[in-house]
Amino acid sequence: MSGLVSALLNATNFRTPFLRTLIPSIGLAYGLQAAVAIPSILGQTERFYDASGSVTYIACTALSLYLPTLRARLAPGTASGQTAAWPSLLASLTSKGGPGLWNWRQVVLSAAVSIWAARLGSFLFSRVTSEGGRDSRFDSIRGSPAKFGVAFFLQATWVSLCLMPVLAVNSIPSAALGALPFFTITDILGLLMYVGGITFEATADKQKSQWMQEKKEKRHNEDFLTRGLWGKSRHPNYFGESTLWTGIATTAAGVMLSSAGQAGMGFSGSGAARLGALAMAGISPAFVTFLLLKVSGIPMSENKYDERYGNRKDYQDWKKNTPMFIPKL
């Protein structure tokens, strides 16, 4: 196994640190999704679709974080375990970076993704399990191997694009990040947005789950939720999702646009290189928000509810008085 890993690492040992991290991480995303797609297609089940997405996020993030150490430990001619001790996560939380340590941003951004993925993945898996392993999104495609396979391919693409800023930051040698101030305004702004976004998303999901449970227990007869955060936005969970990824991208962009970040990724530091780095950071929240607003999030939900309740005055009033995405104050 170590020989295979060494061969793969050698094949992806590109000149720039950015590509040395990006290519293996994206390769892992598509590999994991393919591994889950095959039995899912054969069994015509989407039970593990969302859970596999969360696992892929966590696995790719971890790989990008540990890749430099893994390469050092498995370098040709190096006895395993005699060089490059595994960095300490706890010690790195207060570190600007250096030998045997990560920069704290690398640890915090990786943890932010992992916390989000674990929470959302467990929530979605619990929901699909409670519904007998069926998800209405897949009703028209689970019987078609080609279409169902595309769904897994798109999930790998989603993971790759959303993780782009985190993969970029993790590709930078931690010693290079020591030139940065310990805190910057983009660090503070980005982390506040992340905390606010994931709190908003988790609260909205909890309110929706509680409302659905109360309906099963016949404690109310409402057909759609208009209380709590759902009275501030018709899709508060999606707003929280977009916000948290914007926060991650903001913190990452501050690093990627800095001179230390540019040099550490192997970029030239020119205006074009910095613009490219900004685009790579921005693709994450832009892609998430596009999916939520135009593809699989809000359009599917709105169409479903419009078909069911579009002729009811209470539903029309809720739509008229409640913003679709950005919550009202």
**How far from the centroid of its chain's Cα atoms is residue 23's Cα?**
17
Q: Is residue 195 part of a domain?
A: yes
| pLDDT one-digit tens code per residue, 188-211 | 999 999 999 999 999 999 999 999
Say whether both 195 and 247 belong to one domain: yes
Q: Which residues are CB-contacts of 257 (< 8 A; sequence separation ≥ 6)?
A: 274, 277, 278
Helical (H) or strand (E) element with 204: helix 185-216
Q: Do residues 174 and 106 touch, judged by C-beta distance below 8 A?
A: yes
Q: Which residues are CB-contacts of 10 (< 8 A; sequence separation ≥ 6)?
A: 76
Indicate whether 128 pLDDT > 90.
Answer: no
* pLDDT, averaged across the chain: 90
Say whether both 18 and 159 belong to one domain: yes
Say whether both 61 and 155 belong to one domain: yes
Q: Do residues 248 and 187 touch, judged by C-beta distance below 8 A?
A: no
- The closest alpha carbon to 276, from 168, 202, 184, belongs to 168
pLDDT reported for residue 11: 80
For residues 255-262, give the mean pLDDT: 95
Give the pTM.
0.91
Q: Is residue 80 part of a domain?
A: no
Say whether both 188 and 311 belong to one domain: yes
CA distance 45 to 30: 19
Higher-scoring residue by pLDDT: 108, 269: 108
For residues 138-164, give the mean pLDDT: 91
- How many domains does the chain contain in total? 2
Q: Is residue 215 part of a domain?
A: yes
Q: Which residues are CB-contacts of 79 (< 8 A; sequence separation ≥ 6)?
A: none
Say whether both 173 and 191 belong to one domain: no
Structural domain range at position 164: 1-75+92-130+138-178
For residues 148-172, give the mean pLDDT: 95
| pLDDT one-digit tens code per residue, 198-245 | 999 999 999 999 998 898 888 888 888 999 999 999 999 999 999 999
Indicate whether 305 pLDDT > 60.
Answer: yes
pLDDT reported for residue 3: 67
Write out the two tokens for 298: 């809000």
Indicate whether 284 pLDDT > 60.
Answer: yes
